[in-house]
Amino acid sequence: DGGITQSPKYLFRKEGQNVTLSCEQNLNHDAMYWYRQDPGQGLRLIYYSQIVNDFQKGDIAEGYSVSREKKESFPLTVTSAQKNPTAFYLCASKPLGTGAYGELFFGEGSRLTVL
Amino acid sequence: QQPVQSPQAVILREGEDAVINCSSSKALYSVHWYRQKHGEAPVFLMILLKGGEQKGHEKISASFNEKKQQSSLYLTASQLSYSGTYFCGTEMVNAGNMLTFGGGTRLMVKP
């Protein structure tokens, strides 16, 4: 079955450490997204990518970095520069192009806690 | 750039109707609607495109007023399973697939 896989599901990090969240999709989607969600809040866009080797900053990119070396993979690194990284992180993808409506498909999320 | 949703919260009895609104100050290419249960990923409900095309679940209806850059999600004859947080997401015209979300509307359906 096609879908989006995020790992790990739960992650604990000490202050000052970088951590990388994995996102893999086998839907052959061109666009991929990373969102952050704090308790009781909406989804805030961190980064998105429309094509391999290209990505754009969202509304809250500071303290985060991404790469898009393969179409199916879009890992997110939470760096030590991110002051308050404890949150629920959601990866999503969507098809682009003629005939595509472009609805988002979400992964199950990764919950990061900084100790 | 982020859309604004209203109301922030709604409490219904089973069988009652509700309308959730989403508005933007920018020209929109698409409006998306998703529902999220606590601790889970959002689930797709509906997408409405500039020009009138739309795709979604058959029990869900929504509208997109392109002149006003507003969308509404209509929940009729609500069921307990409709409880959750509803998010609208928008893509602006000429913004290259940047998709941002509103703050959400919490819906609680009571027996």
d(CA B52, CA B97): 18
Burial class (CB in 10 A: 0-12, 13-18, 19+), A62: exposed
pLDDT at site A43: 96
The pLDDT value given to residue B52: 86
Residue A1: pLDDT over 80: no
pLDDT for the residue numbered A112: 96
The pLDDT tens digits of the residues spanning B20-76 come to: 999 999 999 999 999 999 989 999 999 999 888 888 887 889 999 999 999 999 999
A50 → closest Cβ in B34, B96, B103 = B96
Average pLDDT in the A25-44 region? Answer: 95
Of A76, A113, A70, A69, nearest to A92 (Cα)? A76
Determine which of A48, A49, A96, A104 to mutate to test the interface with B (most B C-beta atoms within 10 Å).
Answer: A104
For residue range A68-110, what is the model confidence (pLDDT) as tens digits?
999 999 999 999 888 899 999 999 999 988 777 789 999 999 9
* A43/B53 CB distance under 8 A: no
Residue B2 confidence (pLDDT) above 80? yes
Give the pLDDT mean for A34-46.
95
**pLDDT value of residue B20:** 98
pLDDT at B88: 97
Under the banding of pLDDT at 50, 70 and 90, the label for residue A62 is very high
Residue B94, pLDDT above cutoff 90: no
Neighbouring C-beta atoms of residue A103, cutoff 10 Å: 19
Residue matched to tokens 């199950």:
A108
Asked whether the beta carbons of B72 and B19 are under 8 A apart, the reply is yes
Which of B44, B98, B102 has the CB atom closest to A103's CB atom? Answer: B44
In this predicted structure, what is the pLDDT of residue B84?
97
The pLDDT score that the predictor gives to residue B14 is 96
